[in-house]
Amino acid sequence: MNCGYVALIGRPNVGKSTLMNHMLGQKISITSRKPQTTRHRILGINTTEAGQVIYMDTPGMHRVEKKALNRYLNKTADTTLLGVDIVVWLIDGLSWHEYDEVIFKKLERAGLPVILAVNKVDKVKDKEAILSFFAEAQKRFSFKEMLPISALKQTNLDKLESVLMKMLPEGGLIYPADQITDRPERFLAAEIVREKLTRRLGDELPYSMTVEIERYEEQQKITKIYAIIWVERSSQKNIVIGKQGEMLKKVGSDARKDIETLIGQKVYLQLWVKVKKGWANSERALQSLGFMDEM
The pLDDT of residue 62 is 55
> Rounded to whole angstroms, how far apart are CA atoms 126 and 113?
28
Q: Which of 80 and 21 is assigned the larger pLDDT?
A: 21
- Asked, for residue 248, whether it belongs to a domain, the answer is yes
Of 167, 202, 217, which one is at a domain's C-terminal end? 167
41 plus 76 within the same structural domain: yes
Task: Tell me the pLDDT band of 80, cut-offs 50, 70 and 90.
Answer: confident
The pLDDT of residue 55 is 95
Structural domain of 271: 185-288
Average pLDDT over residues 18-39: 78
Task: Tell me the pLDDT band of 116, cut-offs 50, 70 and 90.
Answer: very high
Average pLDDT over residues 122-142: 91
Give 101's contacts (C-beta < 8 A, 6+ positions apart): none
The pLDDT of residue 230 is 92
Task: Tell me the pLDDT band of 28, cut-offs 50, 70 and 90.
Answer: confident
194 plus 128 within the same structural domain: no
Q: What letter does residue 294 receive in the DSSP assignment?
A: T
Q: Which of 209 and 167 is assigned the larger pLDDT?
A: 167
User: In total, how many domains does the chain have?
Assistant: 2
Q: Which of 16 and 217 is assigned the larger pLDDT?
A: 217
- Asked, for residue 178, whether it belongs to a domain, the answer is no
> 287 vs 275, 282, 292, CA distance in Å?
16, 9, 5
CATH of the domain at 262: 3.30.300.20
12 plus 156 within the same structural domain: yes
> Rounded to whole angstroms, how far apart are CA atoms 23 and 119?
14
CATH of the domain at 139: 3.40.50.300
